[in-house]
Structure 1
Amino acid sequence: MILNVDLVADVPIYQQIRDQIVEAIAHGALTEGSPLPPTRTLAADFGINFHTVNKAYDLLRQEGLIRLSRGSGAVVTAAATGQLLPSDWTARARTLLAEAVARGMPADDVLQACRTLLDSFGAADQEDTR
């Protein structure tokens, strides 16, 4: 797993780390049991404070995507492959969609962009069977 952190981006570094790990899980690059680098190692690699990495890992833990333990470190959990979503998932999606609409993006273009992104994560293979 390769992470890229932009130290001058508007997005906080901890959020960039969290988001890239979530995307790696969505793409299948990280699966249940996959270990993540130790916080101090990742911090040293990027030249950032290890508390920044801790914050990203703690968010992932709170969301049920990773397990943290002294013995095994940070590991992707089974919950990462389940159907549970963070409680604020729809609120975050709503805000992103509202931004697209507010900028004048036609609804069909928004839907196409969403489909393209879902397909890039292999979501087409996971169609809802309800």
Structure 2
Amino acid sequence: MVIKIDFQSSEALYIQLRNQIILGIATSRIQEGDALPSVRQLAEDIGINMHTVNKAYAVLRQEGFLTIDRRRGAVIALDADKMQALDEMKRSLRVLLAKGRCKSISCREVHELVDEIFAEYAQEQ
């Protein structure tokens, strides 16, 4: 698993880590049932604090992307509740679309962007 952290970014490290894992799932580099590295190992591998990795894993668990197994540690286990996932996506999109609207980004441009990004996931599977 390749995790890219931008130490110059203003985005919190745990959010970057969370996003990298979600992108890994979306592009099938990480599959349901895969065990993630231990908190200690991942922190050491990418050069960040263990508490940062722990926070990212906790957020992913809360969002329904992984479970914590006594023997295997953090394991990818996607939440089957599609309606909950759609509600979460809707809440996130509201803010992103409002930002785009403030910058005069058109509906057509948003649709093109969504199609482009979705196509990237389809190609990588």
Report the TM-score, using the length of structure 2 for normalisation.
0.88
For 2:78 and 2:12, how far apart are their aligned partners in 1?
A: 27
Q: Deviation string for 1:4-51 (max 9, x for gaps)?
A: 001121110000000111111111111111111111111112221100
Q: Tell me if the contact between 1:26 and 1:121 (Cα under 8 Å) persists in the aligned partners.
A: yes
Question: How far 1:122 sits from its partner (Å)?
Answer: 2.1
Q: Which runs of 5+ in 2 are unaligned?
A: none
* 2:34 partner amino acid: S
Equivalence for 2:75: 75
Question: How far 1:82 sits from its partner (Å)?
Answer: 6.1
- How do residues 95-114 of structure 1 correspond to structure 2 at under 5 angstroms? 95-114=95-114
Question: How far 1:3 sits from its partner (Å)?
Answer: 0.6
Count of residues in Structure 1 that have an aligned counterpart in Structure 2: 123
1:115 is aligned to 2:108: no
Q: Tell me if the contact between 1:63 and 1:86 (Cα under 8 Å) persists in the aligned partners.
A: no
1:15 is aligned to 2:15: yes
**Residue aligned with 1:121, SS:** helix
For 2:12 and 2:89, how far apart are their aligned partners in 1?
A: 19
Q: State the Cα RMSD in Å.
A: 2.1
For 2:81 and 2:28, how far apart are their aligned partners in 1?
A: 13
Equivalence for 2:3: 3
**Residue aligned with 1:60, SS:** helix
For 2:71 and 2:92, how far apart are their aligned partners in 1?
A: 34
For 1:40 and 1:22, how far apart are their aligned partners in 2?
A: 20
* 1:24 partner amino acid: G
For 1:114 and 1:86, how far apart are their aligned partners in 2?
A: 15
For 1:93 and 1:35, how far apart are their aligned partners in 2?
A: 29
Runs of 4 or more above 6 Å deviation: none
For 2:68 and 2:88, how far apart are their aligned partners in 1?
A: 22
